[in-house]
Structure 1
Amino acid sequence: MGIYENNQLIHAYETTDQTSEALPLLFEGILKEYQPIRLFFARGPGSFMAIKITYIFLKTLSIALGIPLLASDGFAFNEGRAIRAMRNLYFIKEEQAITTVRLEEPVEQHFTLPKRLKEDLFSDEIEPLYMLPAV
């Protein structure tokens, strides 16, 4: 998670905690120090539960604070590499279509915050990209 000022990353937060535990704790601290004017998030694809929890949490926060919520797919944060769905099944994005493929070799899963936020990658289309049924 990151804080941007004038679209420049000024503070990054990282945790290995579960999404349901991390979001409230991170935002408790963030809201004491900052007054967000917009919220941006990756709407998937990825972990069904993490996406669902993130969406519900941020949508609620957006309504409570009266600020816009904008979303992009997760490929904007991993240089367009395949995103693990489960076992050897991965999501890939070709042009604008997201599909799944089986890959024999694991793909490294590094997601990073850009130093400069490109707002044109985000839209008000915020419905989660679940892509696979819950298991």
Structure 2
Amino acid sequence: MQKPLVDIVAVVISKPMLIGVYKNSQLSETIQKEGMTSDVLPEVFDELLKKYEINSISYSKGPGSFMAIKLAYVFFKTLSITRNIRLFAQDGFYFNGNTPIKAVGNSYFVKKEGIITLKKDETPGTFHLPKRLELNEMSEDVEPLYILKAV
């Protein structure tokens, strides 16, 4: 039996991690998973690969947790190469309505007029998966978006 062809969106900078399964560009399944990125991604994608034929993966490339972004990039890039899956990315602001994203301490990443800066004591937004996946809104520039130097 042939597996359904789907596209995947992964918001790896949110807690819990959000993963959406899209059939014909429509969100058909939402997975919310707590835990470390290094544990969650292999577990979730093991199940997804058993169940579906994955056409593309789009992920949140930052800003946010450097470790989560780095792990996600390596994981998705490996899947892209070994399974011939198209890989796309978008900055995290796409997935939270352009609201502040938690950085370190009481600092937050803020995007204004296309420029990302750090601000103190902001109110972070909530991440969400788009109801409809528009691949033309995703970028083929999939390298992680580091605003500060990784430590």
Alignment TM-score > 0.5, same fold: yes
* Among candidates 64, 89, 101, match of residue 71 of structure 1: 89
- Counterpart of 1:107 in structure 2: which amino acid? T
Question: What is the deviation of 1:109?
Answer: 4.3
TM-score by length of 2: 0.84
Q: How does 1:78-117 map to 2 (within 5 A)?
A: 78-103=96-121, 106-117=122-133
CA distance in 1, matches of 2:101, 2:124: 9
* Among candidates 141, 147, 150, match of residue 125 of structure 1: 141
TM-score by length of 1: 0.93
For CA contacts below 8 A with separation 6 or more, give which structure has more relative contact order: 1
Q: Which runs of 5+ in 2 are unaligned?
A: 1-18
CA distance in 2, matches of 1:109, 1:50: 18
- Counterpart of 2:108 in structure 1: which amino acid? Y
Partner of 1:28: 46
Partner of 2:28: 10
Q: RMSD in angstroms over aligned alpha carbons?
A: 1.2
CA distance in 2, matches of 1:80, 1:119: 19
CA distance in 1, matches of 2:89, 2:23: 18
Query: Contact 1:76 / 1:121 at 8 angstroms: preserved in 2?
Result: no
Q: Which has the higher strand share?
A: 2
Question: What is the deviation of 1:108?
Answer: 3.6
Q: Secondary structure at the match of 1:87?
A: coil
Q: Which runs of 5+ in 1 are unaligned?
A: none
Question: What is the deviation of 1:86?
Answer: 1.0
CA distance in 1, matches of 2:20, 2:131: 10
Name the stretch that deviates more: 91-100 or 72-81.
Answer: 91-100
CA distance in 2, matches of 1:74, 1:19: 16
CA distance in 2, matches of 1:127, 1:119: 17
